[in-house]
Amino acid sequence: MSGLRPQDRPRRIVIVGGVAGGMSCAARARRLDEHAQIVLLERSDHVSVATCGLPYYLGGEIEDAALLQVQTTRSLRASLDLDVRVRHEVIGLDPERRIVTVRSKAGVGAIAYDALVLSPGALPARPPIPGLDSPRVRTLRTIADVERLRDDLAHGAHRAIVLGGGFIGLEVAEALRGRGLLVTVVELAAHVLPALEPELASRVGREMRRMGIDVRAGVAATGITHRADSDEVALGDGSTLSADIVVASVGVRPDTAVFEHAGVACERGAIVVDAHGRTSVPGIWAVGDAVLSVDAVTGIRAPVPLAGPANRAGRLVADDILRPGEARPIPSPLATAIVRMGGLTVAMTGANHDRLTGQGIEHHTIHLHPNDHAGYFPGARAIHLVVHFRATDGLLLGAQAVGEAGVDKRIDVLATAIRARMSVGDLIDLDLAYSPPYGQAKDAVNLAGMLGEDVLGGSVVLWYPDDLEAVMGSSLLVDVRSAAEFATGHLPGSLNIPHTTLRRRLDELRVAAAGRPVRVLCASGFRSHLAHRVLAQEGFDSATLSGGLITLLDARGPDLERMLVTDGTTRAAA
């Protein structure tokens, strides 16, 4: 292996933080250099903790806390000859003299470094909610945190309020509900998982309610009152909730104060790094939750607090320290993420509609509901899939999915495609594994490619749930489901022409349209796509509802459901 000449290599590499980024860096550094002294400084009692497993230990699916400790000080010494020092907190940094000040049981001391890697992670954010310092308020970040929560359960806690409906908040809520607690999730944004498209998030909210979790979205927690036997959480809508424990899970902030104070350049607390993880200070690198990332799709500058990017960046930083000039740059993260909620899997990669719009990136969005595997094979389940691609050339920009099966595989394929800078049409050509229990000969991802290419080329024109009011005011709505489906609930004023009868009823449709645009819909968007192609070729100004009534109902919720007409009456009146 090439790289620096032995005499030029850093003799001592000091790493702050012994979990995802720091541990990956240490292990890789050892594999590259057998002779360097690698010192890992960790503030807590443990290194190499499986932080992502904490919610599952809380919920009891992981029964043994020891399983959360992937490595120990001793095993790391034995296998990688790492000098791991737990309960060693870095409290100061002198970049000129290349030393860190460390506080440990033995007192305060100094450790010199040739190369310093910062992977201090993040701390739970503490919003300015009066009463958040109540002794019943918990966070979940460390083994100590999870043990405290388990202790609460052992002492009879049975009502929990989770502040924040992000990934960790949802994992905590699921875990506590699984333990039988009465759980309420309070989320300031309009829906849980704020990064998720609203039409998908509504499914997650419904699943949570089905599980018995009380979801309060679009409302802030405004104060916590500590009482002898419970805490009272006041919400912005005037309501109050009582709980035995309150878990604050409202995001994280980079744990960088010591390093920023020492002159390492930060932006809103996140360490600014270049493509190799180098900070503004020579000889100091940084990775993980503590650093500022530049979003690969939108260019938005913000930390991406996820384990995968931290682990991979740690490895690449070791390369840059020991093989400068040869190390691959750290790619900008796509923030690919996944979470389970009850029977649903929720996953996303790349940008969402709001971020694309906010950044002025013109894009198309498609909605599909393909099966996870062949419909004729038992157990097929719909994957509710949203894909965004650039309007000019079809470059893939983002994808999200919710469903009971097959979601992880599709989002991982799409994440790979985005990383490879594929266009939506390229998805058609992906040779994906297929047999009936696993997929379809045209996989969900291939289907997204086919629809996307048609949209990009203009042969398919879509309309969206947000267009509904305008469409109802200006166009003829044609519902191409069967008469029986139509009778179960349809949009007021819509004309039912089942797609199988469309070709022979074109004259009738032309009269009904009276020169107006025709906006077609069906249950999922498939039959209306077929009908739209007939109409477009017959010269109609036609468009098909993206994702059909399934997406429309998911996007517009109970209000739309009430609007639907069944056998001449609305659903509400029925």
Contacting residues toward ligand FAD, per CB under 6 A: 16-22, 41-44, 51-52, 54-55, 89-90, 119-121, 140-141, 168, 255, 258, 288-290, 305-308, 310
Q: Which is nearer to ligand FAD, 270 or 351 (CB)?
A: 270
Q: Which is nearer to ligand FAD, 57 or 526 (CB)?
A: 57
Q: Which is nearer to ligand FAD, 141 or 529 (CB)?
A: 141
Q: Which residues pair with 341 in a beta bridge?
A: 344
Q: Which is nearer to ligand FAD, 419 or 505 (CB)?
A: 419
Q: Do the bridges between strand 37-42 and strand 83-86 make them parallel or antiparallel, or are there none, so unpaired?
A: parallel
Shortest Å distance, C-beta 489 to ligand FAD? 38
3-state secondary structure string, 192-256? CCCCCCHHHHHHHHHHHHHCCCEEEECCCEEEEEECCCCEEEEECCCCEEEECEEEECCCEEECC
Q: How far apart are CA 371 and CA 417, in angstroms?
A: 20
Element (H, E) at 363: strand 363-368
Three-state SS at 474 = helix
Q: Which residue is nearest to ligand FAD (CB)?
A: 288
Q: What are the b/e assignments for 49-59, b being 16+ CB within 10 Å?
A: bbbebbbbbbb
Q: Which is nearer to ligand FAD, 270 or 476 (CB)?
A: 270
Q: Report in angstroms the alpha-carbon separations of 310 from 82, 118, 477.
A: 19, 11, 50
Shortest Å distance, C-beta 111 to ligand FAD? 11
Q: Which is nearer to ligand FAD, 120 or 198 (CB)?
A: 120
Q: Which is nearer to ligand FAD, 258 or 560 (CB)?
A: 258
Shortest Å distance, C-beta 306 to ligand FAD? 4
Three-state SS at 553 = helix
Q: How far apart are CA 114 and CA 380, in angstroms?
A: 57
Shortest Å distance, C-beta 136 to ligand FAD? 19
Q: Which residues pair with 245 in a beta bridge?
A: 160
Shortest Å distance, C-beta 88 to ligand FAD? 6
Three-state SS at 182 = strand
Q: What are the b/e assignments for 431-440, b being 16+ CB within 10 Å?
A: ebeeeeeebb
Q: Determine the distance from the C-alpha atom of residue 272 to the mean position of all C-alpha atoms in its chain, rounded to a whole number.
A: 23
Shortest Å distance, C-beta 448 to ligand FAD? 24
Place of tokens 């036609």: 542
Q: Which is nearer to ligand FAD, 39 or 54 (CB)?
A: 54
- Contact assessment for residue 128 and residue 135, using Cβ atoms and an 8 Å cutoff: no
Place of tokens 């940008």: 351
Q: Which is nearer to ligand FAD, 307 or 461 (CB)?
A: 307
Shortest Å distance, C-beta 131 to ligand FAD? 23
Shortest Å distance, C-beta 90 to ligand FAD? 4
Shortest Å distance, C-beta 442 to ligand FAD? 31
Q: What Rg, from alpha-carbon coordinates, does the chain have?
A: 27
Q: Which two tokens stand for residue 470?
A: 């305008």
- Contact assessment for residue 168 and residue 192, using Cβ atoms and an 8 Å cutoff: no
Shortest Å distance, C-beta 257 to ligand FAD? 9
Q: Which is nearer to ligand FAD, 42 or 244 (CB)?
A: 42
Identity of the amino acid at 347: A
Q: Do the bridges between strand 214-217 and strand 182-187 make them parallel or antiparallel, or are there none, so unpaired?
A: parallel
Q: Which residues pair with 368 in a beta bridge?
A: 385
Q: Which is nearer to ligand FAD, 169 or 498 (CB)?
A: 169
Q: Determine the distance from the C-alpha atom of residue 15 to the mean position of all C-alpha atoms in its chain, rounded to a whole number.
A: 28
Question: Which DSSP letter does residue 274 get?
Answer: -
Shortest Å distance, C-beta 308 to ligand FAD? 5
